[in-house]
């Protein structure tokens, strides 16, 4: 059963969470489900730049929203301190998730960086948000190369310790010609379970082709 709220985290920043969020949204749309996406804390963009949710909207057309947008390409608390602004608190993020959940079949929530990056001035993280959202599930986006097995194991341990339901792992960018390390990593991740791999080049596809590639890559959601 695919939960109403799907939280998308990663083993790190820049691993492909945004593209995976778009791919999951495209699959759910393909299955006839209504979808919205939410980014509690966007950093590293100015007012005019496209943020993660703009990428998701471009690739899928789903409605999106952001909790806050900060300029410095840093962790949220550091970026907010530079601008001397307060971050939205956890209840504000939960209120937005509830608002979206009341209007759409599924809400995708993309974190900033990895699972335990602090998103609020009270040092609460995406894990705290997931714990507070009943019956949500987390998707973990990981790299393909050397080092990813440990990063996946660390994040899964953090999820298990908090009793957060892990739906599985997505490899954010799967090369056309994977090397032997990447092939071994993929085999070791099968029991995670590995929900799928996103072929390198997906975000450069036009929306229709992106949706077809997403449905092929992530049958769990389609
Ligand atoms: N399958 C892919 N093929 C090619 N490029 C990709 C793929 N997936 C992600 N990328 C690129 O890698 C970069 C990082 O991806 P993305 O923005 O999804 O990471 P992220 O984990 O969401 O980062 P952040 O922590 O900043 O939110 C982007 O430039 C994105 O276009
Ligand atoms: C700027 C970057 N693209 C993300 N938006 C924020 C990543 C925060 C990572 C914090 C950390 O783990 O060091
Ligand atoms: Mg992102």
Cβ of 88 below 6 Å from ligand 1 = no
Q: Which atom of ligand 1 is nearest to the CA of 173?
A: 1
Q: Which of 21, 28, 39, 218 is an active site residue? A: 39
pTM: 0.98
Respond yes or no: is residue 39 known to be catalytic.
yes
How many CB atoms within 10 Å of residue 116?
A: 16
| Contacts of 31 by beta carbon, 8 Å cutoff, 6+ apart | 221, 222
What is residue 39's predicted lDDT score, i.e. its pLDDT?
98
Task: Compute the distance from residue 34 Cα to the ligand 2 centre, in Å.
Answer: 29
**Domains observed in the chain:** 5-217 (3.40.50.300)
CB 101 within 8 A of CB 107: yes
What is residue 49's predicted lDDT score, i.e. its pLDDT?
92
Question: How far is Cα 113 from Cα 20, in angstroms, rounded to an integer?
Answer: 14
Q: Which residues pair with 106 in a beta bridge?
A: 35
ipTM: 0.99
Cβ of 196 below 6 Å from ligand 1 = no
Task: Compute the distance from residue 17 Cα to the ligand 3 centre, in Å.
Answer: 5
Question: How far is Cα 210 from Cα 200, in angstroms, rounded to an integer?
Answer: 12
| pLDDT single digits (tens) 32-91 | 999 999 999 999 999 789 999 999 999 999 999 999 999 999 999 999 999 999 999 999
Residues of the chain with pLDDT under 70: none
Cis omega (within 30 of 0) on the bond before 128?
Answer: no
What is residue 163's predicted lDDT score, i.e. its pLDDT?
98
What is residue 193's predicted lDDT score, i.e. its pLDDT?
97
Task: Compute the distance from residue 69 Cα to the ligand 2 centre, in Å.
Answer: 13
Cβ of 41 below 6 Å from ligand 1 = no
């Amino acid at each position: 059963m695919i939960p109403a709220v799907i939280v998308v985290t990663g083993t790190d920043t820049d691993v492909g969470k945004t593209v995976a969020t778009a791919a999951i949204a495209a699959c759910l749309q393909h299955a006839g489900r209504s979808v919205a996406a939410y980014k509690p804390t966007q950093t590293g963009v100015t007012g005019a730049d496209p943020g993660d949710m703009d990428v998701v909207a471009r690739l899928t057309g789903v409605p999106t929203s952001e909790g806050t947008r900060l300029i410095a390409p840093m962790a949220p608390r550091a970026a907010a301190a530079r601008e001397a602004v307060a971050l939205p608190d956890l209840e504000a993020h939960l209120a937005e998730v509830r608002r979206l959940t009341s209007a759409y079949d599924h809400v995708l929530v993309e974190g900033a960086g990895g699972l335990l990056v602090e998103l609020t001035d009270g040092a609460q993280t995406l894990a705290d948000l997931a714990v507070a959202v009943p019956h949500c599930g987390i998707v973990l986006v990981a790299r393909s190369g050397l080092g990813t097995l440990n990063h996946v194991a660390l994040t899964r341990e953090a999820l298990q310790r908090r009793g957060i339901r892990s739906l599985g792992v997505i490899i954010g960018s799967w090369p056309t010609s994977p090397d032997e390390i990447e092939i071994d990593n993929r085999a070791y991740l099968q029991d995670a379970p590995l929900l799928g791999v996103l072929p390198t080049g997906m975000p450069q596809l036009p929306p229709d082709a992106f949706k077809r590639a997403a449905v092929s890559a992530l049958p769990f959601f389609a």
